[in-house]
Structure 1
Amino acid sequence: MTIYAISDLHLSFNKPVTLYGIDHDRDVTKPMDVFGWERHYDRIRDQWLEVVKPEDTVLIPGDISWAMKIETAKNDFGWIAQLPGKKVLSPGNHCYYVSSKKKVREAMPEGMYWIDADYTVVEGCVVAGTRGWTLPGDHRFWDEERDRSIYERQVGRLRLALEAAVKAEPDKPIIVMLHYPPVTKHVRSSGFFDVMKEFGVSTCVYGHLHGKAAEEAVQGEYEGIDLQLVACDYLDFRPVQVRVPGVDHRNE
Structure 2
Amino acid sequence: MLNKGSGRALSIYAIGDLHLSFNRPVSLYDVNFETDVDKPMDIFGWERHYEQVRDRWIETVRESDTVLIPGDISWALKLNQARYDFDWIRQLPGKKVMSPGNHCYYAQSKKKVREVLPEGMEWIDADYTIVEDRVVAGTRGWNLPGDYHWDEETDRKIYERQAGRLQIALEAAVKDHPDRERIVMLHFPPVTEKSKSSLFMDLMKEYGVSLCVYGHLHGRAHRDAVEGMVDGIRLRLVSCDYIDFQPVLLELQE
TM-score (norm 1): 0.96
- Following TM superposition, by how much is the alpha carbon of 1:21 offset from its aligned partner in structure 2, in angstroms? 2.3
The one-letter code matched in structure 2 to 1:34 is I
Alpha-carbon separation, structure 2, partners of 1:235 and 1:142:
26
| Post-superposition CA distance 1:115-169 (Å, at most 9, x none) | 000000000110000000000111x211111001000000000000000000001
Alpha-carbon separation, structure 2, partners of 1:2 and 1:54:
10
Alpha-carbon separation, structure 1, partners of 2:201 and 2:108:
27
- 3-state DSSP class of the match of 1:58? strand
The one-letter code matched in structure 2 to 1:182 is P
Aligned match of 1:91: 100
| Post-superposition CA distance 1:6-31 (Å, at most 9, x none) | 00000000001000021001000000
Match of 1:26 among 21, 35, 60: 35
Aligned match of 2:52: 43
Match of 1:80 among 89, 97, 103: 89
| Post-superposition CA distance 1:52-83 (Å, at most 9, x none) | 00000000000000000000000000000000
Alpha-carbon separation, structure 1, partners of 2:215 and 2:171:
23
Aligned match of 1:114: 123
Which runs of at least 4 in structure 1 moved beyond 3 Å after TM superposition? none
Aligned match of 1:196: 204
Alpha-carbon separation, structure 2, partners of 1:145 and 1:173:
37
Alpha-carbon separation, structure 1, partners of 2:104 and 2:22:
14
* 1:32-181 correspondence to structure 2 within 5 Å: 32-138=41-147, 140-181=148-189
Percentage of pairs with the same residue = 67
TM-score (norm 2): 0.96
- Following TM superposition, by how much is the alpha carbon of 1:107 offset from its aligned partner in structure 2, in angstroms? 1.2
| Post-superposition CA distance 1:198-223 (Å, at most 9, x none) | 00000000000001101111101111
Aligned match of 2:6: none
Alpha-carbon separation, structure 2, partners of 1:150 and 1:207:
18
Match of 2:19 among 10, 14, 20: 10
The one-letter code matched in structure 2 to 1:226 is R
Alpha-carbon separation, structure 2, partners of 1:137 and 1:164:
30
Alpha-carbon separation, structure 1, partners of 2:122 and 2:250:
18
Alpha-carbon separation, structure 2, partners of 1:143 and 1:24:
38
Alpha-carbon separation, structure 1, partners of 2:47 and 2:53:
11
Q: CA RMSD in A?
A: 0.6
- 3-state DSSP class of the match of 2:242? coil
Q: What is the aligned residue count?
A: 245
Q: Does 1:182 align with 2:190?
A: yes
- Following TM superposition, by how much is the alpha carbon of 1:32 offset from its aligned partner in structure 2, in angstroms? 0.4
Alpha-carbon separation, structure 2, partners of 1:21 and 1:129:
32
- 3-state DSSP class of the match of 2:34? helix
Match of 1:218 among 226, 239, 250: 226
Gaps of 5+ in 1: 248-252
